[in-house]
Structure 1
Amino acid sequence: MIRRRPLRTPAALGALTTAALAAGLLAVPQSAAAAEVRVHDIQGSTRLSPLDGQTVTEVPGTVTAVRSFGSSRGFWIQDPNPDADPATSEGLFVFTGSKTPAVAVGDSVLVSGKVSEYYPGGAAGGGQSLTELTGASWTVVSSGNDLPEAFTLRPSTVPNRYAPQAADGGEGAGDGSIEDLPLRPRSYALDLYESLEGMTVRVQDARVVGPTTSHGEVWVTAEPNRNRTERGGTLYGSYDSPNGGRIKVESLIPYAQQPFPQADTGDELTGTTAGPLDYDNYGGYTLTATVMGELKDNGLERETTRPQREDELSVATYNVENLSPKTPAAKFSRLASALVDNLASPDIIALEEVQDGNGPTNDSLVSGEETLKKLTAAISAAGGPSYSWREIAPEDDRDGGQPGGNIRVAFLFNPERVSFTDTPGGDATTPVRAVAGEDGTAALSASPGRIDPANPAWEDSRKPLAGEFVFRGETVFVVANHFNSKGGDQGLDSRFQPPARSSETQRVAQAEAVNAFVDSLLAVDRRAKVVVAGDLNDFSFSPAMDALTEGNVLKNLADTLPKDERYSYVYNGNSQALDHMLVSRAVSRYDYDIVHVNAEFADQASDHDPQVLRIRP
């Protein structure tokens, strides 16, 4: 409900209200009289409003922004007369549902409504709540008022520490939550953002650390020199360093007035980008821009690796992101061009996310032959070699991923450079074993063969594929992997600190299974040359990688690169390593390269960067 009345100053309104109360003409609501409640009283000094669930009346504020689209419309108000407590936000979102509110920026308003703590995406996801007013009515007192000054996010205002730790250190609702802790905005980045919830914030000349997405959002950093990658991103190098200066930017500006910038990592939003600080479940705290900086293109280019030498075997890994014959031809062409031109036509390619022949159509088809046929044809058309392939089709709907897609890992190889040792017996359910060959060296009981497919570790997840290759008379074993995703994990910005990584248990078990398989090969022949590659969905510093390298069975090659180059994926503005290549001890002469062609760019053929390993067996 919206009311307009003759313009009066807040002081005059207060005098009128006081006189009416004295005359007994007005009743005081049980919640609070208008003069008693201001925005900072609603926000309080913790993550939860002390007035949650209560109705408040005539809360004063200046309209700083209006969201007039989508199903979460409303407007932000900010109190131009703040209190002295930095922990209490002076901003608040007034939710109007699917109705566009009849207010304008600069209006001085008195708002009444119910205080609510809203959890975007649901409370079960572990995210923060957003304090707002619902069922609101308001009165416009005056228009054209000056807006409160924006809070500037910069290195000196963003604390080095990211989040407080829950006192009990546990997990789950009411256990491990930091919601009831007093906010310490000068000590923790998450506390700072919570203390600014709903207030206008700004960044100046902000560097882009996460490219523009298809949803119209981009990640920038207020700390441009913190953990900087060689190409302008921000490296996520440990659980203790989530990079608190990262913040997502969305726009409230109509597209016709100012199109959203199509930015790559390392670009800049020059000048001022400002707007109220919101929160959602797709990245956390978000600057909803009413003023957008101008995009400066810093010219990020896609990398190209060198060709392998005649005596070098090159092995690559590439997550091709739900590839099927239904994928647009342009994506096949781009993947092919990258493999030929940017990766220099590797001898062996471990592919992840190869779907069956009709993609997400959910029927009984499981073969990926049509997908691989179309990809290899595109590679040939791009000037690459005529690759052969090997796969083992999964059981229908048993390996996770997009429903109906039946994603799996697969091998491509250049038969002019390397041969594949075909040993029958491999299928979706038969485990591959290490066996001794005629000369006492290691061999596979089935090639290609799946590693321990009945192990519960692989439930609803892709099974690793082992293959036996021969290059210049030397046998090399390659294991293609795609470990289970991080789906279900709590975000870095979770109200539970430290956030729970529930998916990690399964990846550790998967890593143990692969480690045991490689160990069995080495038990037959300690000089066996093994390459383990793929999208492992975890970091070099994770327990899963510790399990995979346990006993020095494998060496993770990402650890051999300079720190500012150790990434293959960009998520919420953090450049991170999810894809890996590891080798056994016998692989001692190698050259390893992560080839950045996708993850840092708004225009992507896949969301992962490929990698290439060149070895001299």
Structure 2
Amino acid sequence: MSPLARRTSVTVTVTAIAAGLLVGPSSAFAAPAADAARIHDIQGSTRISPLAGKQVTDVPGTVTAVRSFGSSRGFWIQDPRPDDDQATSEAIFVFTGSTTPSVAVGDAVLVSGTVSEYYPGGASAGLQSLTEISKASWTVRSQSGDLPAAFRLNPSTVPDRYAPDGSLEGRTLRPRSYALDRYESLEGMRVSVADAPVVGATNTYKELWVTAEPRHKRTARGGALYDTYRDPNAGRLKVASLLPYAEHPFPVADVGDKLTGTTAGPLDYDNFGGYTIAAGALGTLDDRGLTRERTRKQKSGELSVATYNVENLSPKTAQSKFDRLASGLVDNLASPDIVALEEVQDDNGATNDGVVSAEATLKKLTEAIAAAGGPSYAWRQINPADDQDGGEPGGNIRVAFLYNPKRVSFTDIPGGDATTPVKVVQDGGEAALSASPGRIEPGDEVWKDSRKPLVGQFAFRGRPVFVVANHFNSKGGDRGLDARVQPPARSSETQRTGQAAAVNTFVKSLLAADPKAAVVVAGDLNDYQFSPALSALTKGGVLTDLVTRLPRGERYGYVYNGNSQVLDHILTSRALRGPDYDIVHINAEFADQSSDHDPQVVRLRP
């Protein structure tokens, strides 16, 4: 599917106010006569057209770009005679569906059709709308005219403040005050960025992310750091191409690269990245040579514990991915003693037939590691109940432990299964587990349709070490950063916070039995170091989130829509002093990935 295809569409042509989310004409602004409308009259000074649902006739404009492929074909027109109101866009998209429009860039046209508001992803997704003309007809008056100058997006034209609080629809746009208002006021218009840093690598849809604010909160390796809800990095923009890929290959860029020269085109908007430059002119890729990191090897007296989300791994996964994951663990992570794995699927992957065993998956991975020169890892895990742990349907993803038996031993204690909760017991005056491996409160409602934490009791140089592998529930259902109600709702956060509290309670029970217990909590927690979930997990000071010990520009291991952020964590108990912690950047910043997460490792002296 084309990256510019409409994966889901809802077109709204009503003009009634609905629950504060859909706003049409009101007494606050008078709609002009539809048969005399220019583009700025259609766009209006809010996000919803004052002419939504109405027919317009002979709207003048110059064709600035054509989308001639995918299921969302059409063209943009821009009025060469703008008004003096910065809040009103002077351009609009003319939607022709799957039909290639018979116009060319530079044509002066008169367009007639129905004004509509299109919500990418559907109205229920909570995103903003695009004002369009649909069911259109047009007349070409002249050809090969000059294009309007592109509006330059840079630190002086993009406000640092992202958006006002509350519903954005119905508000008069303030493009000098808020970034989302600035972009909305430019909807469909030609915009440009110059010498734009790449902050999100090229994806499989031939899209990348740049920033129009080159000096704003950059990471140590050139990304855009997301470290507070208050600042989503307003300068981020997706770049997609309108040029034929065969003649104009899309740049394969990593974070830290640059698109030199000018990248320009209409400002589009979709539900897979938000505001997008639909580029008819692409800057030249300046490859800055980003390299994959390698961490140091643990010393003989150090225990190394890693976490790695291997992204829906099953025996059906290509051998090349197994080999790359193995190389990453051996060469880049220096063969950790213990690895907490996330997204290990069952032995036939997404086939939904009741199979829950992951022995074949783990065997294939450990064989690849040995072939790459790594240790002969053993593993421990617990099969989940079928289709009860979320993830890809039929995949039965779970967390699992790999460990190097030449460096560390696993304390096997029978009794762990999918539904029996592990408990803390006393053994000779020390903390121990009722079952190892065991699952934390698998019947608790907080783990519904989510992976259950796996606890293992290890021994390193005679000292017990407790490791908790986690994969908290995803952010599915949360509103996007550019949602039409600000700040965006984070509905999934409630369950993660409950999960974090459950793990915190379990760690407290270990420390109650032995205040000097060596505890490592690791995994994909699907949340940020500044989130309520991490506050719940560290409550009472029982655990330290090690990402907070890194220099600020290194606090990330995942890149989403151009934001470098934290989802994976390693936390340690007080007894583990002086941990040496490293997020090893080998995936998230690169167009070529073996997983979408960077692994991380800590070296400890229990």
Normalised TM-score (structure 2): 0.94
Is 1:58 paired with 2:73? no
* Secondary structure, counterpart of 2:485 in structure 1: coil
Is 1:163 paired with 2:163? yes
CA distance in 2, matches of 1:32, 1:590: 69
Which residue pairs with 2:410 in the alignment? 420
CA distance in 1, matches of 2:32, 2:221: 54
* Secondary structure, counterpart of 1:530 in structure 2: strand
Find the partner of 1:549 among 524, 531, 538.
538
Is 1:246 paired with 2:236? yes
Letter of the aligned partner of 2:571 in structure 1? Answer: L
Which residue pairs with 1:614 in the alignment? 603
Which residue pairs with 1:429 in the alignment? 419
Is 1:115 paired with 2:115? yes
Is 1:260 paired with 2:261? no
Q: How many residues align?
A: 576
Per-residue CA deviations over 1:381-439 (Å, capped at 9, x if unaligned) read 0000000000000000000000110000000000000000000000000000111112x
Is 1:146 paired with 2:135? no
Is 1:472 paired with 2:473? no
Which residue pairs with 1:370 in the alignment? 360
Letter of the aligned partner of 1:555 in structure 2? Answer: T
Which residue pairs with 2:397 in the alignment? 407
* Secondary structure, counterpart of 1:397 in structure 2: coil
* Secondary structure, counterpart of 2:124 in structure 1: helix
Letter of the aligned partner of 1:369 in structure 2? Answer: E
RMSD: 0.8
Find the partner of 2:578 among 576, 579, 589.
589
CA distance in 1, matches of 2:125, 2:185: 22
CA distance in 1, matches of 2:315, 2:215: 43
Which residue pairs with 2:260 in the alignment? 270
Is 1:344 paired with 2:329? no
* Secondary structure, counterpart of 1:507 in structure 2: helix
Which residue pairs with 1:535 in the alignment? 524
Matches within 5 A, 1:148-547: 148-166=148-166, 177-438=167-428, 440-547=429-536
Question: Contact (CA 8 Å) 2:346, 2:356: kept in 1 or not?
Answer: yes
Matches within 5 A, 1:557-568: 557-568=546-557
Which residue pairs with 1:16 in the alignment? none
Q: CA deviation at 1:178?
A: 1.1
Which residue pairs with 1:32 in the alignment? 33
Normalised TM-score (structure 1): 0.93
Per-residue CA deviations over 1:113-135 (Å, capped at 9, x if unaligned) read 11000001101000010000011
Q: CA deviation at 1:590?
A: 1.2
Which residue pairs with 2:12 in the alignment? none
Q: What 5-or-longer segments of structure 1 have no aligned partner?
A: 1-29, 167-176
Q: CA deviation at 1:589?
A: 2.4
Find the partner of 1:603 among 573, 587, 592.
592
Letter of the aligned partner of 2:514 in structure 1? Answer: D
* Secondary structure, counterpart of 1:467 in structure 2: strand
CA distance in 1, matches of 2:438, 2:356: 17
CA distance in 2, matches of 1:459, 1:348: 27
Question: Contact (CA 8 Å) 2:579, 2:604: kept in 1 or not?
Answer: yes
Q: What 5-or-longer segments of structure 2 have no aligned partner?
A: 1-30
CA distance in 2, matches of 1:340, 1:416: 15
CA distance in 2, matches of 1:156, 1:473: 61
Cα 1:258–1:500 change in 2 (3 A) is same
CA distance in 2, matches of 1:292, 1:122: 30
Which residue pairs with 2:81 in the alignment? 81
Question: Contact (CA 8 Å) 1:220, 1:248: kept in 2 or not?
Answer: yes
CA distance in 2, matches of 1:522, 1:214: 46
Letter of the aligned partner of 1:287 in structure 2? Answer: I
* Secondary structure, counterpart of 2:498 in structure 1: helix
Question: Contact (CA 8 Å) 2:127, 2:271: kept in 1 or not?
Answer: yes
Question: Contact (CA 8 Å) 1:431, 1:453: kept in 2 or not?
Answer: yes
CA distance in 1, matches of 2:273, 2:209: 9
CA distance in 2, matches of 1:110, 1:238: 46
Matches within 5 A, 1:9-24: none
Question: Contact (CA 8 Å) 1:558, 1:566: kept in 2 or not?
Answer: yes
CA distance in 1, matches of 2:588, 2:446: 28
CA distance in 2, matches of 1:353, 1:235: 26
* Secondary structure, counterpart of 1:119 in structure 2: strand
Question: Contact (CA 8 Å) 1:206, 1:269: kept in 2 or not?
Answer: yes
Q: CA deviation at 1:257?
A: 1.6
Q: CA deviation at 1:164?
A: 1.1
Structure 1 runs of 4+ aligned residues shifted over 3 Å read 30-34
Q: CA deviation at 1:82?
A: 0.3
Letter of the aligned partner of 1:316 in structure 2? Answer: A
CA distance in 2, matches of 1:45, 1:598: 42
Per-residue CA deviations over 1:455-512 (Å, capped at 9, x if unaligned) read 0000000000000000011111000000000011000000011100010000000000
Letter of the aligned partner of 1:32 in structure 2? Answer: A
Per-residue CA deviations over 1:91-145 (Å, capped at 9, x if unaligned) read 1000001100100000000101110000011010000100000111111010111
CA distance in 2, matches of 1:181, 1:564: 36
Letter of the aligned partner of 2:148 in structure 1? Answer: P
Per-residue CA deviations over 1:16-48 (Å, capped at 9, x if unaligned) read xxxxxxxxxxxxxx98364x2100000000010
Aligned identity (percent) is 72
Q: CA deviation at 1:378?
A: 0.2
Question: Contact (CA 8 Å) 1:31, 1:55: kept in 2 or not?
Answer: no
Letter of the aligned partner of 1:206 in structure 2? Answer: A
Which residue pairs with 1:11 in the alignment? none
Which residue pairs with 2:14 in the alignment? none
Question: Contact (CA 8 Å) 1:31, 1:54: kept in 2 or not?
Answer: no
CA distance in 2, matches of 1:495, 1:33: 27
Question: Contact (CA 8 Å) 1:273, 1:293: kept in 2 or not?
Answer: yes
Letter of the aligned partner of 1:329 in structure 2? Answer: Q
Letter of the aligned partner of 1:241 in structure 2? Answer: D
CA distance in 1, matches of 2:578, 2:48: 57
Question: Contact (CA 8 Å) 1:31, 1:56: kept in 2 or not?
Answer: no
CA distance in 2, matches of 1:576, 1:589: 24
CA distance in 2, matches of 1:428, 1:553: 27
* Secondary structure, counterpart of 2:120 in structure 1: coil
Letter of the aligned partner of 1:68 in structure 2? Answer: S
* Secondary structure, counterpart of 2:180 in structure 1: helix
